[in-house]
Amino acid sequence: MSHDNHPTHDSHELSFWRKYIFATDHKMIGLQYGITALFFLFFGFWLMMLMRWQLAYPGQAIPHVGDIWPVLGKAVDWIRLHIFHVSGSNFAEETLPGGVMLPEFYNQLGAMHGTIMVFMGIVPLAVGAFGNYIVPLQIGAADMAFPKLNMASYWCFFVGGWVMLISFMVPGGAANSGWTSYPPLADIASFGQTMWIIGMVFLITSSLLGAVNFITTIFQLRAPGLNFMRLPFFVWAQLVTAFLLLLAFPPLEAAGVMQLMDRVAHTSFFLPSGLVVSGKPLEVSGGGNSLLWQHLFWFLAHPEVYVLILPAMGIVAEVIANNSRKPLWGYRSMVYALLILGFLSFIVWAHHMYLTGMGTAISAFFQATTMIISIPSVIILTCLFISLWGGSIRFNTPMLFALAFLPMFGIGGLTGLPLGLNTPDIHLHDTYYVIGHFHYVVAPGTIFAMFAGIYYWFPKVTGRKMNEVLGQIHFWPSLVCMNFIFMPMMIQGLAGVSRRLYDGGAQYAHAQGTLHLNVVMSIAAWALAIAQIPFVINLIGSLFTGKKVENDNPWESTTLEWATPTPPGHGNFTTIPTVYRDPYEYSVPGASKDFTPQNEKTVV
Amino acid sequence: MSAIVPYISKPRPDTGLYNAKMGIWLFLASEVMLFGALFSSYILLRIGAVDWPHGSTLLSVPIGTFNTIVLITSSVTMVFAWASLKEENLARFKLFLGLTILLALTFLVVKGFEYNAKFSHHLFPRTSTYMAIYFTMTGLHAIHVIGGIIVNSYLWGPGAVMWKEDPARFTNRIEVAGLYWHFVDLVWIFLFPVMYLL
């Protein structure tokens, strides 16, 4: 055991505030990010569970929630009265009167579910938490290049997240124009939309600071001998992700500034002339362009899709290499595919806008780039599949999640192709098919990879392994439920059911044949929530009762993060390691053991 | 604390950069995307507009020219401040960085008078799309100028104590602040013709 083998840097004790709250150590910041992001993920999931009741049983009171809601409403009313000085509000009546959801509240939940999951859940977990904790360890660095910037990045995220949460309490409720905030609707929406923009500015600043930090760290702080083609795939994935965040987010920030001007200074960046709202002409100067927002938004939000998926691929690659006891098949092609993917992701954005009347020439261009970008994704996925071939696979919990990622992401990716083609998109655009497609990518795709990462690196963080039985109880129901939620969405979408319907399509003739699926999906969503209970028990319980690891490298891995003490102290390594070999030298012929760590000079 | 991270003042041999210099270039890349998006929006809005005023009919070209000269001069004094540190002359450094800050303040004061003149003629961001993009872009640029003033004032005052402890690192800080300041200057060099002359 190496618990009493901490590096000498740790000798001076930090105060509680410096160690846990205003921490500058990348590992503590990573944990802060991880805990906060998991909280937001569960919160966003909870919003969705409320919505799923309304979709399955439109107009019926939500059981149990309807009973406790007035209590919550009273608390919000108190805050409104004493903080926002708005009297006479009745939160419960404005959202769930008698437990029945109002359309206005449904719209808020829809917009905020998307915003929370993408910007406050997945990205902070994939980049902020895993990136922060693992990248410096895998490149043999003592910390991130800019520890104070790292702290600022977390606290910007924290403030931005809370601005978003508090926006539920402002008069008129949270943002309700969809997570895409399309104008002109978003320009004239209630005050919650202004809060949304302010929150986004904080979240964007956080990502920007993080991106600068990650790129500098990876370029500047690699250990001796660790050249670029020896970097673990996870580090490559984080590097490309950081470039996407760095260059794609600022245009959204520009768009956010313009929308803020539209809302606060009454400019008309996104408001065309002659707009009529509720029967009255809107008194603005006009002359704006609402498509401008869509271009700027998707210029961010398409690369954002790759921000969501690339770190996940990185984690899966690590877990698969480790548990198949084989080097990754086609490491170099994977890296080149990653770079091409990163570049191409900047020139596909308008495939979200085929039906806006851009013109056929532009649509054809974006259709072509969209088809081309599927090639590098398929290369990476294929390499991961072939990596399994002939391996001696260990079916532990991280590996199960990583293995499930492959077909789930495969379904998500392949169902995207019809959307990327102009003609089928006419039918599929804005239907539940779209929702099914991208949730397959992000939910059983990215989130499963996040789970794999948590189970895989937990022993490094805590010195204990998570429970395998609870892990299996977590994995199998989650896999089943995910498919029962998102596969029926594809069917509904093919039937033409719109994604924005408050009643789940009950009023529409063409939706009648698929209405029963709403109940299936909702029950699966609630069952998925129950399936997360073993995970929570496992995560917290294993901190205290998990099986202690016997050495610093319990999974017998080759990458540098396992060459640190467990858990790593301040400064990470007792001595900065030197790298002699490629990242995944498993089962080297002639070696006495089936793994040869990167910092081992000669094969023994 | 952060002293455990290498390449704070010496460049890493294979990249040729010290950490902060790489960091500021990356940050400036993101700033290019920020202002690039706004300039692109300007082009799109102008192409789609029924009529678009000529900048000189609404703004004063002489005042804009004066402010351009002020900012360019401040970039020159910023370089002199850095060069003074390279020559290990702290007094001259204080003089030139002080001048940079004063010139930046001059720019803001002139800009404030310009804004005020517009308001007194009832020209507000909501008046037209031209005024909207004028106020948004010059306002965002002004925020960047204010940021530069704050950073430079810190380095002129309390931050300068680092010169005694670690002169190489302090010189790097001035170089990094200078890179940012030149960028702010460069944005204005694009803004001036686009807003005033075209």
Asked if A472 and A397 touch (Cβ cutoff 8 Å), the reply is: yes
Residues of chain A in contact with residue B41, where contact means CB-CB under 8 angstroms, are 254, 258, 269, 292, 296
Which tokens belong to B102? Answer: 């004063």
Query: What is the pLDDT at residue A8?
Result: 44
Asked if A598 and A578 touch (Cβ cutoff 8 Å), the reply is: no
Banded pLDDT at A9 (limits 50, 70, 90): very low
Distance between CA A234 and CA A138 in Å, rounded? 9
Banded pLDDT at A602 (limits 50, 70, 90): confident
Residues of chain A in contact with residue B38, where contact means CB-CB under 8 angstroms, are 254, 257-258
Residue A19, CB-side half-sphere exposure with 13 Å CA sphere:
8
Query: What is the pLDDT at residue A14?
Result: 80
Query: What is the pLDDT at residue A603?
Result: 84
Per the listing, tokens 């002639």 go with: A590
CB atoms within 10 A of CB B97: 26
Q: Is B146 helix (H, G, I), strand (E, B) or coil?
A: helix
Distance between CA A379 and CA A372 in Å, rounded? 12
pLDDT score of A229 more than 70: yes
- The pair phi, psi for residue B152, each rounded to 5°, is -65, -35
Residues of chain B in contact with residue A258, where contact means CB-CB under 8 angstroms, are 38, 41, 136
Banded pLDDT at B143 (limits 50, 70, 90): very high
DSSP class of residue A183 equals T
pLDDT in tens, A171-196: 889 999 999 999 999 999 999 999 99
- The pair phi, psi for residue A576, each rounded to 5°, is -60, 125
Banded pLDDT at A85 (limits 50, 70, 90): confident
State the average pLDDT over residues A317-323. 97
State the average pLDDT over residues A485-496. 96
Q: Tell me the residue type at A305.
A: V
Q: Is A281 helix (H, G, I), strand (E, B) or coil?
A: strand
pLDDT in tens, A43-73: 999 999 999 999 999 999 999 888 889 999 9
Q: Tell me which range, A563-577, B2-16, B136-150, is most confidently predicted by mean pLDDT.
A: B136-150
**Shortest alpha-carbon distance between residue A25 and chain B (Å):** 9
Mark yes or no for CB contact A254/B34 under 8 Å: yes
CATH code at A18-59+101-272+284-563: 1.20.210.10
Asked if A566 and A459 touch (Cβ cutoff 8 Å), the reply is: yes
pLDDT in tens, A420-429: 999 999 999 9
Asked if A479 and A397 touch (Cβ cutoff 8 Å), the reply is: no
DSSP class of residue A592 equals S
Q: Is A193 helix (H, G, I), strand (E, B) or coil?
A: helix
**Range A88-93, long-range pairs (CB < 8 A, 24+ positions):** A89/A171, A91/A169
Which H helix or E strand runs over A432? helix A432-441
Mark yes or no for CB contact A289/B44 under 8 Å: yes
Nearest to A147 among B2, B20, B133 (CB): B2
pLDDT score of B32 more than 70: yes
Asked if B2 and A221 touch (Cβ cutoff 8 Å), the reply is: no
CB atoms within 10 A of CB B69: 12
Cis peptide before A567 (omega within 30 of 0): yes
Where along chain A do its domains lie? Answer: 18-59+101-272+284-563
Residues of chain A in contact with residue B7, where contact means CB-CB under 8 angstroms, are 145, 220-221
State the average pLDDT over residues A12-40. 91
pLDDT score of A200 more than 90: yes
pLDDT in tens, A294-305: 999 999 999 999
pLDDT in tens, A389-420: 999 999 999 999 999 999 999 999 999 999 99
Angle between helices A397-414 and A468-494 (to 10 degrees): 10
Query: What is the pLDDT at residue A16?
Result: 86
Q: How far is CA A65 from the centre of its chain?
A: 27
Nearest to A9 among B4, B12, B30 (CB): B4
State the average pLDDT over residues A326-330. 96
Nearest to A246 among B5, B6, B29 (CB): B29
Where along chain B do its domains lie? Answer: 15-50+57-197
pLDDT score of B191 more than 50: yes
Burial string for A72-109 (b: 16+ CB within 10 Å, else e) reads ebeebbebbeeeeeeeebebbebbbbebbbbeebbbbb
Distance between CA A156 and CA A315 in Å, rounded? 26
Distance between CA A193 and CA A270 in Å, rounded? 15
Distance between CA A82 and CA A179 in Å, rounded? 29
pLDDT score of A7 more than 50: no
Nearest to B126 among A144, A251, A267 (CB): A267
Which tokens belong to A501? Answer: 């319907």
Q: How far is CA A459 from the centre of its chain?
A: 23
CA separation, residue A502 to residues A57, A189, A508, B59 (Å): 11, 18, 12, 50
Query: What is the pLDDT at residue B7?
Result: 94
Query: What is the pLDDT at residue A89?
Result: 84
CA separation, residue A227 to residues A136, A146, A583, B15 (Å): 15, 21, 11, 12
Distance between CA A59 and CA B44 in Å, rounded? 45
Mark yes or no for CB contact B23/A255 under 8 Å: no
Query: What is the pLDDT at residue B3?
Result: 60
pLDDT in tens, A509-535: 999 999 999 999 999 999 999 999 999
Residues in chain B whose Cβ is within 8 Å of chain A? 1-2, 4-7, 12, 15, 17, 19-20, 22-23, 26-27, 29-31, 33-38, 41, 44-45, 48-50, 124-129, 132-133, 135-136, 140
Pick from A301, A271, A302: nearest CA to A284: A271
Query: What is the pLDDT at residue A12?
Result: 62
Q: Is A210 helix (H, G, I), strand (E, B) or coil?
A: helix
pLDDT score of A6 more than 50: no
pLDDT score of A443 more than 80: yes
Q: Is A498 helix (H, G, I), strand (E, B) or coil?
A: strand
Mark yes or no for CB contact B34/A250 under 8 Å: yes
Asked if A140 and A579 touch (Cβ cutoff 8 Å), the reply is: yes
State the average pLDDT over residues A103-114. 96
pLDDT in tens, B49-69: 988 999 999 999 999 999 999
Banded pLDDT at A15 (limits 50, 70, 90): confident
Asked if A249 and A208 touch (Cβ cutoff 8 Å), the reply is: yes
**Shortest alpha-carbon distance between residue B180 and chain A (Å):** 14
Q: Is A299 exposed, middle or buried (0-12, 13-18, 19+ CB in 10 A)?
A: buried
Query: What is the pLDDT at residue A363?
Result: 94
CATH homologous superfamily of B15-50+57-197: Cytochrome c oxidase, subunit III, four-helix bundle (1.20.120.80)
Banded pLDDT at B155 (limits 50, 70, 90): very high
Distance between CA B42 and CA A269 in Å, rounded? 10
pLDDT score of A10 more than 50: no
pLDDT score of A482 more than 50: yes
pLDDT in tens, A273-314: 989 998 999 888 888 999 999 999 999 999 999 999 999 999
Query: pLDDT over 70 for what percent of chain A?
Result: 98
Nearest to A267 among B2, B34, B125 (CB): B125
Secondary structure, 3-state, A442-494: HHHHHHHHHHHHHHHHHHHHHCECCCHHHHHHHHHHHHHHHHHHHHHHHHHHH
In angstroms, what is the C-alpha Rg of chain B? 19
Q: Is A591 exposed, middle or buried (0-12, 13-18, 19+ CB in 10 A)?
A: middle
Query: What is the pLDDT at residue A283?
Result: 87
Q: What percent helix, strand, coil does chain B show, rounded to 5?
A: 80, 0, 20
CA triple A226-A232-A234, angle to 5 deg: 135
Residue A528, CB-side half-sphere exposure with 13 Å CA sphere:
25
Asked if A76 and A170 touch (Cβ cutoff 8 Å), the reply is: no
Residues of chain B in contact with residue A13, where contact means CB-CB under 8 angstroms, are none
Residues of chain A in contact with residue B12, where contact means CB-CB under 8 angstroms, are 219-220
